[in-house]
């Protein structure tokens, strides 16, 4: 059955003192999750465990993110984590440290028949 994307949320996270890419990625995921409420699932009788959750993390050093740790941040569904080049590394000129900024996009997908839903005109 084809999937339909029902939710798209974005978040940002950082690690200002430790230069930890995984910590920044987890904070970006938490930021995105805290922007989202999913009454749609309960209202329509869908189980949130049925959704596929696609997470894309952007950081300057993707190879330094532990995707399994990020995956553990997701409380529902069947999570998949992909880490790509993105985000920011900020190096203050007066200090020898690294500030890591990560971005996250979280998409929730459900298998839904294409004719299962119909948009209705707005009521006045």
pTM of the model: 0.87
How much is the pLDDT for 87? 98
Confidence band for 116, pLDDT divided at 50, 70 and 90: low
How much is the pLDDT for 29? 98
How much is the pLDDT for 44? 76
Residue 1 has pLDDT above 80, yes or no: no
Residue 120 has pLDDT above 70, yes or no: no
CB atoms within 10 A of CB 95: 8
pLDDT digits (tens, 9 = 90+) for 87-100: 999 998 888 899 99
How much is the pLDDT for 114? 66
How much is the pLDDT for 86? 98
pLDDT digits (tens, 9 = 90+) for 30-84: 999 998 777 777 777 788 888 999 999 999 999 999 999 999 999 889 999 999 9
């Amino acid at each position: 059955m084809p999937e339909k994307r029902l939710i798209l949320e974005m978040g940002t996270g950082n690690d200002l003192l430790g230069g930890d890419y995984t910590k920044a990625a987890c904070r970006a995921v938490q930021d995105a999750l805290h922007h989202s409420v999913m009454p749609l699932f309960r209202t329509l009788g869908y189980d949130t465990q049925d959704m596929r959750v696609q997470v894309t993390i952007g950081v300057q050093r993707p190879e330094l993110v532990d995707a399994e740790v990020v995956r553990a941040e997701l409380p529902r569904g069947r999570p998949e984590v992909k880490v790509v080049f993105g985000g920011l590394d900020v190096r203050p000129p007066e200090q020898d440290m690294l500030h890591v900024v990560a971005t996250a996009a979280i998409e929730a997908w459900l298998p839904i028949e294409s004719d299962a839903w119909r948009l209705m005109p707005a009521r006045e």
